[in-house]
Amino acid sequence: MFGFKRLARDEDGVTVIEFAFVAPVMVLLLTGILEFGYVLFARSTLESAVLEGARSSRVLDCPNENAKAVEEFIQNRMDVVASANGQKAKLVVDSYGQSFGDVGNPEPYDDVDGNGTRDVGESYTDVNGNGEWDSDMGTEGDFGSFGEVVRFTASYEVASILPFLAQRYNGKPSYSIEAATVVRNEPFKDATCAI
């Protein structure tokens, strides 16, 4: 007869039981590392595309004339990364005139009540000329002129390799990534541009 005492002393199959406890944790850890590595790869790809696109724009004689080419360059570079929504990378370009100090800063305003924020009715200087106060004084959509400071910002929605992990971590089955760089256009004063 088969005895319970003998069964309690039998250690055959213990490794299988231990593996059953450890395996889910190891699989989750490995898939998390793969997911994290993939998102880092996507971010690195976007950053390098933005840097190269910005460099090609700043060295051309007429920066505004190659706007479409820069955007297509970035989009083509991102084709190696799966898009979550089927959309290409989006590029936003802002021009800041001659000063790097203006990048990312709000248009100047008179803080009458001293609360540190611009309220309706407080006067301001419309640096970018769009008729309203902006929290960033750049002129959107403008590749700038010769010698001007320009910021390139690209965004992309990366599809997750393991959507259940992204959903748990991010609240959606994808990751939003963004890369930006700021450059000064070359000061070619003698070029003739169409725009």
DSSP state of 109: B
Q: Is residue 121 part of a domain?
A: no
Q: Is residue 23 part of a domain?
A: yes
Average pLDDT over residues 148-170: 89
DSSP state of 123: -
Q: Is residue 21 part of a domain?
A: yes
Q: Is residue 58 part of a domain?
A: yes
Q: Is residue 191 part of a domain?
A: no
Q: Is residue 130 part of a domain?
A: no
Q: What is the pTM of this model?
A: 0.75
How many domains are there within the chain?
A: 1
How is residue 129 written in tokens?
């000329």
For 104-130, give one letter per residue: b (16+ CB within 10 A) or e.
eeebeeeeeeeeeebeeeeeeeebbee
For 53-65, give one letter per residue: b (16+ CB within 10 A) or e.
bbeebbebebbbe
How is residue 78 written in tokens?
């991102």
Task: Check whether 9 has a pLDDT greater than 80.
Answer: no
Q: C-alpha 138: how far from its chain's center?
A: 19
Q: Is residue 36 part of a domain?
A: yes
Q: Which range of residues forms the domain containing residue 75?
A: 13-103+138-184
Task: Check whether 32 has a pLDDT greater than 60.
Answer: yes
| Angstrom distance (rounded) from CA 169 to CA 14 | 34
- Other CB atoms within a 10 A radius of the CB of residue 7 amount to 8
pLDDT at position 59: 62
pLDDT at position 10: 66
Question: Between 2 and 53, where is the model more confident?
Answer: 53
3 state SS of 56: helix
Q: Is residue 74 part of a domain?
A: yes
Which residues 6+ apart lie within 8 Å of 113 measured at CB? Answer: 119, 122
Average pLDDT over residues 98-115: 88
User: What are the pLDDT digits (tens) for 75-98?
Assistant: 999 999 989 888 999 999 888 888
pLDDT at position 13: 73
Mean pLDDT over each residue of the chain, to the nearest integer: 84
